[in-house]
């Protein structure tokens, strides 16, 4: 299987999380955005692939087996299309018969991990506070759709996007006239917005990311009358977007959508602290865990409702699948895996929420903290 998915979809994340193999290679790094250093990114990837080859050989794989896993990724070194579009983070996942490569809207610490599962911890940051949103810049001329994250805003070019109000309706429009911009369902501007909404269907189909409007405020209710996308946010970015810089539009749009992405994490943290406090007073059964040795088997049993894991930590060890007993080591031993990553994958696949955050945002400042369903 090979995929170049940008953005990462829920279906792809589920496929990666459920993948198991004797040797799964995960490579993360953040390429340079501009300048002479960009030319060094292929060299960086080459060195990361060398590290992966050494670790695969250390597992006892033959040279031919190592090459079967890594050769598809090595082909990217000389692929100009792969390096053409810049991204904050690049993640590669390789195993026998499998290569997936992703440009991501978040920075990734450089790492090479080889184990029985893909290392997806950094990717869960996208689902926990650094998520994707869309920004639609409304104008009578040159409407634009952008995809954004906490850090980026890039313009997309949906097929069939009208070039202007005049081109969409074969009208000669200079300024809003009487009857243009009213709540009449046959108003030319509402018809124009219906054409824009139809053009967005292919890009936004099956998406749940928030959509933010940018434009003069009198246009907002008119677009809402034409809109069929269910995740259009309240309010918008006021003003003529044609006169705004991309960084200005991004900052104002992110201010609107940030609470949408961070609210579940805030609520889960408050719930954990409430449960942990009750446990300390001995007033209820154990529902909050903060020891890795307890969290991992709970994840495997499908008992975790919400899980916090530290992005900047690893917990090496292994689990006896027969009794879910956890053995931990201070440094990786043959056959070990990052138990934080394992807990995250099993929680996610069993319907729990995963918050991959810096260690200071994990309740109790431990590498893992979990709220149990039962």
The mean per-residue pLDDT over the stretch 41-46 comes to: 93
58 and 112 part of one domain: yes
- In terms of residue numbers, what domain contains 201? 133-259
**Cα 283 off chain centre by:** 38
Last residue of a domain, one of 55, 85, 119: 119
The mean per-residue pLDDT over the stretch 85-98 comes to: 89
pLDDT value for 166? 65
Last residue of a domain, one of 92, 119, 146: 119
| CA–CA gap between residue 103 and residue 88 (Å, rounded) | 7
253 and 306 part of one domain: no
The answer to the question of residue 84 being in a domain is: yes
189 and 229 part of one domain: yes
The mean per-residue pLDDT over the stretch 24-46 comes to: 84
| CA–CA gap between residue 274 and residue 272 (Å, rounded) | 5
pLDDT value for 127? 66
20 and 67 part of one domain: yes
196 and 241 part of one domain: yes
Tens digits of residue pLDDT in 157-209: 998 898 877 666 665 444 444 444 555 656 788 889 999 999 999 889 888 89
The mean per-residue pLDDT over the stretch 144-158 comes to: 88
User: How many domains does the chain fold into?
Assistant: 3
Q: Is the pLDDT of residue 8 over 80?
A: no
> Average pLDDT of the chain?
87
The mean per-residue pLDDT over the stretch 110-133 comes to: 85
The mean per-residue pLDDT over the stretch 294-305 comes to: 95
The answer to the question of residue 124 being in a domain is: no
The answer to the question of residue 205 being in a domain is: yes
The answer to the question of residue 127 being in a domain is: no
Taking a C-beta distance cutoff of 8 angstroms, is the pair 165, 177 a contact?
A: no
Reduced to 3 states (helix: H, G, I; strand: E, B; else coil), residue 146 is strand
Helices of type H across the chain:
10-18, 41-58, 63-74, 80-84, 165-169, 188-204, 220-226, 246-280, 292-300, 339-349
108 and 194 part of one domain: no
103 and 158 part of one domain: no
The answer to the question of residue 312 being in a domain is: yes
The answer to the question of residue 306 being in a domain is: yes
The answer to the question of residue 278 being in a domain is: no
pLDDT value for 100? 94
Q: Is the pLDDT of residue 284 over 50?
A: no
The answer to the question of residue 279 being in a domain is: no
The most confident of 177-191, 271-285, 353-367, by mean pLDDT: 353-367
239 and 154 part of one domain: yes
| CA–CA gap between residue 240 and residue 214 (Å, rounded) | 8
Q: Residues, the chain, total? A: 374
Last residue of a domain, one of 259, 277, 303: 259
Q: The domain spanning residue 332 has which CATH number?
A: 3.30.1330.30
Q: The domain spanning residue 108 has which CATH number?
A: 3.30.960.10
The mean per-residue pLDDT over the stretch 88-98 comes to: 93
């Amino acid at each position: 299987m090979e995929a170049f998915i940008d953005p990462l979809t829920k279906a792809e994340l589920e496929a990666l999380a459920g993948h198991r193999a004797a040797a799964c290679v995960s490579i993360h790094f953040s390429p340079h955005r501009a300048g002479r250093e960009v030319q060094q990114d292929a060299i960086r990837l080459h060195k990361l692939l060398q590290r992966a080859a050494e670790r695969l050989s250390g597992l006892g794989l033959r040279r031919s087996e190592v090459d079967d896993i890594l050769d598809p990724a090595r082909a990217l070194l000389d692929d100009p299309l792969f390096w053409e579009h810049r991204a904050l983070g690049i993640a590669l996942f390789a195993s026998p018969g499998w290569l997936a490569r992703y440009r991501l809207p978040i920075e990734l610490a450089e790492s090479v991990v080889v184990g029985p599962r893909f290392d997806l911890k950094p990717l869960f940051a996208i689902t926990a506070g650094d998520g994707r949103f869309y920004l639609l810049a409304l104008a009578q001329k040159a409407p634009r759709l952008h995809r954004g994250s906490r850090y980026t805003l890039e313009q997309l070019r949906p097929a069939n996007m009208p070039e202007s109000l005049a081109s969409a309706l074969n009208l000669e429009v200079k300024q809003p006239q009487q009857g243009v911009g009213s709540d009449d369902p046959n108003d030319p501007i509402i018809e124009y917005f219906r054409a824009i909404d139809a053009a967005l269907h292919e890009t936004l189909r099956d998406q749940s990311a928030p959509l933010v409007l940018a434009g003069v405020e009198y246009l907002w209710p008119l677009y809402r009358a034409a809109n069929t996308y269910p995740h259009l946010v309240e309010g918008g970015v006021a003003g003529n977007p044609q006169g705004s810089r991309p960084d200005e539009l991004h900052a104002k749009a992110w201010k609107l959508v940030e609470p949408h992405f961070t609210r579940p994490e805030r609520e889960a943290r408050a719930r954990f602290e409430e449960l942990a406090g009750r446990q300390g007073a001995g007033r209820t059964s154990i529902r909050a865990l903060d020891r890795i040795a307890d969290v991992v088997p709970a994840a495997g049993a499908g008992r975790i409702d919400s899980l916090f894991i530290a992005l900047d930590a690893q917990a090496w060890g292994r689990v006896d699948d027969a009794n879910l007993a956890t053995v931990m080591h201070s440094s990786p031993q043959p056959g070990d895996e990052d138990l934080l990553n394992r807990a995250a994958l099993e929680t996610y696949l069993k319907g729990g929420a995963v918050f991959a955050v810096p260690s200071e945002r994990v309740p109790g400042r431990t590498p893992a903290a979990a709220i149990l369903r039962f």
